[in-house]
Structure 1
Amino acid sequence: MRRIGLICVSLWILPISIAWCGTDKDLQDLSGQVVPLVSSGQANSFVAGGELFSKGNLTSLSDIQYTVQVKNQTGDPVIGSSLILVVEQVMEIAKTRDVADRLEILGADGQTDQGKPFYYVPTGTSKDLAPYGVSEPIQVQIRNPDLLRLAPPTFGIFGIRRTETKRVEDLREVLIQKGILSPDEATEILGTPTTDSP
């Protein structure tokens, strides 16, 4: 689980809409269920610097840009305002080591508690990323001042699936936090809380 500050979650259950802005909201690791679709290109070609191989091809660049979309391969919608793309690592090809700390990840929306940059995933006009839907593109630009030979980044995807169990448990928490129900009353009305598996 990752903890991200100031995530606003819209909870829709029955005919009632509840908007809840939580801080340090736990997000589910959706990696492998919501997958990144990555294409790459160089941000500033040879003008920004690069190392020439003997045949005249660039083997490393100072700026590399990736266009990333995410595809929801689950059967549930994912709450759009909770969905983030995390740059987990960037490997140097020659030494097979993570060199993300030697690079500058440009335009990130924030950092996780582990210090990894993340981007909010845009879902267009929809409040959710629908089952088998694809997000709007995100531009991830990496500044590579040491001209390291890099493999494409490894991305993690975190968010909240809008499952029935999750909606009921979130409603329980909101009602208890706002003092509308006591924990015992919430259990009597909504049942025993369970862990919703992603």
Structure 2
Amino acid sequence: MANDIAEKQLNYFTETLATEVSQFMAQLDKSKIYQAADLILNAKQQGGRVHITGIGKPSHVSHYTAALFSSTGTPSYFLDATEALHGSAGQVMSGDIVIAVSNSGETQELQRTVEALKKLGVTLIAVTGGASSWLAENTDLTLFAGVEQEGDSFNKPPRASVVVEILILQALSIVLQEKNRLNLKQYHLWHPGGALGESLERE
């Protein structure tokens, strides 16, 4: 019986995820991605840096995205949203870019962090499923990353929403990579080890 329920839920998850991702990609606002890339590149030209932050599961998305951006030509830093209120905001300077990730856009802890960061003179980019949320209304640019169904019987744990957050940030990373004119030789300098490094040596 338990296996039957699990199989039913797994099928529901795979079907829901396929639907949500398909719908999300179909409505992806590419113009907003280009705007975000331009904000980042303009800041970079002026010596500004990129920081990515979030609370809960979005903090893991932020960790991954900072690593991805850094490895593809846009040095980026994870900013712990909680620690930012206790001194870590010192890593952020006027002219920097901060990308804030939140599914709801209403997370109170992140609101306090954003309010503190705004006083530092940064440009804020929201990645959120809340198109009319507090976060969307209190940042300079919003990249919509929302779903209707997460993919399980609770519809609460972040599942599909995490996927689309990563997808839109990956899309942004691709635009930045191409605008930075990253080539394989440069890429190899940052990836000398492992199977990836070995494959690049054969290029």
TM-score, normalising length: structure 2: 0.25
Larger RCO (CA under 8 A, 6+ residues apart): 1
Larger Rg: 1
